[in-house]
A and B are shown apart, each in its own frame.
Chain A
């Protein structure tokens, strides 16, 4: 397995001085035109028909049963085009759709066709064609062609980067924190102990640099202090989005960001217009709005893709939820996105149109959406995309016309 840390060390061996400068910032190579690219992993398989209901489909209400949104009144979907709508919790996304900054994809899936979360997430994050064939993340492999592999080019909003961003290129990570950093003297002494360590030296140096960027962003920003609440795990998305938004907006901050957000595996009591999934979607939607605010002028140069490992069963299951399915949902949004569109290749909800009589079919390969952003937004060459970033994927072309000219 490749390890991003094995080759990082030269600077560290120079010793303690490298650690004493908590205010030092790392140099980074800017993307053309200062662009930002963000990937949001919706871990656990978000129910696509809950987020983007096909409320105009004649079979929607009967198949979805207790999960169907009402056609009117409280809890009704925000209609987009007569056939599709957005869940009423997603009003910020609906504004982006009307501003033509959001493209929606239904019937999306990776090449994986079984129903294990962990294998499906592995394929989603490695960009391979089967689980465990590749050992690093596709986004990590995209950093070198973008000259963002220096350490501060990509940010994981997590204490350790998810597989998507793991690999031979060095990245940084950040989480809202309560603890105070140790003083420079202790850091210098620890730096000496870490001088020969293949893992700890580089990691600590990187964390201090990112913390310095975050601290600077705090002082630069008009919107007050950095969020200090710990937003790890199932809970608060907002502090992660606010804080990372500022780090990504900073002139010398990272240009690529990854969020890893769980809470979508709704096997029971999923709810419809109101309920557990509605609340989770609302938290996500409000956090996206906060991310847009914090990015400020950088929003216009930003493309964000939110994807999940697979879809869920169309019909409600025995416990008021949905089980693991196939075709799912993806969102591409941001100021750089040419949106206001829904890509579905919809064939209805009749049993014959469903995979195995239960799931939405897979029409668009998730990689085609990722490729769209990498090719047209970040200008990565087609050959690099087809061979290096998504190996053996020349048969999966990027979806065109998703990025503003």
Chain B
């Protein structure tokens, strides 16, 4: 087994499955690029609800609440819980099983970049669909398409409060006295595109928030925010919407009556009133120089080192800028970067990466039984080690540096998990063989001896999971 094969499977992938390093050996770079050309894993998600179906469910839920129909609401919420658990099971399983692990790493990287979180319960229904339908289809496409899909998605609209944002001078704003919310506008500039040092001002935050007024979750073609004769489904509403070009797609809808009138100036550039103005603004932000720098730094930090070499960041930045945000071009540069192939592991696996690597090498037949009824222990472990999927503590997403995962209690929790998981998985296989096929030449000889001398196969597997080299990538 070659070192490059082991690095491809571990540094760029999700940890080797048995035989994976052998597969990558011949031409590790081609093995990685082939995954990107091929991998979507979309068949795995065939039985999960689409965003538009979930948006319809949300409307139904609100009607039940309004009608104070407690029994119907209760059974509805139980179904929503099942939806969430099915999403969780699918999310864990695709990581444990995928044949395109680099593609999946990138899905998770971007999903974390555009973090939405169940810590805001209103968007819990949508977090799985967000990753499947706003992130996954665009991972090997253009960054600007991903920005648009992410900002429009109901999960983001609800998480960062834009779904209820109303232009103060809009028709709905004038009638209801309600107004703008600047949360999404600010986080798009600070976190999703330019970065906090990207040179924008509070006026730019407000301009972008104004541009995005009227963007919301699809509640049907109504004049949302208005009551009485001009209410949501009335003929007046339909007329106004048609006249002003209300757009709707897969759970998203633009409500013209809520949109702040007039052109807006963002970063010195003027944008027209209406849905198109917001789209143009996001497209420009996605291709901004500061965005290229911001994204390059994050990608280099993710794949290369906590403090990546400036030369690596610059190469990625140039590829992003010169291609106008063509992500395949960006990944090609990262895969070609010698800094990414240094033998010493520079990154510490996050808790979900850690659990995923362990299940890929030793999960075996147990994976077939993973579904919404059996996913609980994985969720509890991830929470205990500090990284519950779809539940990042803030819009900044999960941190991506060693220090964030190596507090003393976090390390003990990982050791405890190694022990618990190995008890469950480790009866059958020879742990030395598993260690070799997980890490190849990355396995430290002392660790290998320690595993070989273990008191039982399960203890040997626990030592592999807990070992310093298995905790890193």
Contact = CB atoms under 8 A, between A and B. Distances in A.
B180 to A, nearest CB: 5
Interface string A190-217: 1011100101101111111011000000
Contacts of B202: 114-115, 356
Interface in A223-271: 230, 232-234, 262-263, 265, 267-268
A113 to B, nearest CB: 10
A324 B187 CA distance: 12
Nearest to B381: A179
B250 interface: no
A268 B403 contact: no
B461 to A, nearest CB: 11
Given A159-B410, A179-B413, A317-B179, A199 B402 contact: yes
B454 A189 contact: yes
A144 interface: no
A304 B184 CA distance: 34
B164 interface: yes
B434 interface: no
Interface in A160-179: 160-161, 166, 172-175, 177-179
Interface string B157-180: 000110011101000010000111
Given A193-B463, A199-B402, A230 B409 contact: no
B280 interface: no
Interface string B81-94: 00000000000000
A48 to B, nearest CB: 19
Given A119-B196, A193-B467, A173 B166 contact: no
A383 interface: no
B415 to A, nearest CB: 6
Given A115-B202, A267-B161, A190 B463 contact: yes
A163 to B, nearest CB: 9
B10 interface: no
A147 interface: no
A185 interface: yes
Nearest to A276: B121
Contact of A118 (B196, B409, B455, B471): B196
Interface string B402-422: 111111111111011111100
A233 B403 contact: no
Nearest to A316: B179
B403 to A, nearest CB: 7
A90 to B, nearest CB: 23
A186 B412 CA distance: 12
A175 to B, nearest CB: 5
Contacts of A181: 412, 416
A180 interface: yes
B44 interface: no
Given A160-B403, A234-B119, A190 B415 contact: yes
B231 interface: no
Contacts of B447: 193
Contacts of A211: 412
Interface residues of B, number: 61
A318 B385 contact: no
A205 to B, nearest CB: 8
Contacts of A118: 190, 196, 394, 396
Given A173-B410, A193-B447, A182 B173 contact: no
Interface residues of A, number: 64
A18 B402 CA distance: 24
A311 interface: no
Contact of A182 (B168, B348, B415): B415
Contacts of A116: 186, 190, 196
Given A186-B459, A204-B415, A232 B386 contact: yes
Given A180-B416, A230-B384, A161 B407 contact: yes
Contact of A204 (B165, B205, B393, B411): B411
B365 interface: no
A374 to B, nearest CB: 23
B166 A318 contact: yes
Contact of A159 (B165, B407, B455, B467): B407
Contacts of B406: 5, 160, 199-200, 203
Closest 5 CB pairs of A and B: A318-B179, A160-B407, A207-B412, A207-B408, A159-B410
Interface of A: 1, 3, 5, 43-44, 114-119, 131, 156, 158-161, 166, 172-175, 177-182, 185-187, 189-190, 192-194, 197, 199-200, 202-208, 210-211, 230, 232-234, 262-263, 265, 267-268, 317-319, 321, 323-324, 356
19 contacts: A1-B307, A3-B403, A158-B409, A159-B410, A173-B409, A175-B413, A177-B409, A182-B416, A185-B455, A186-B463, A194-B468, A203-B411, A204-B408, A204-B411, A206-B408, A268-B181, A319-B179, A321-B181, A324-B182
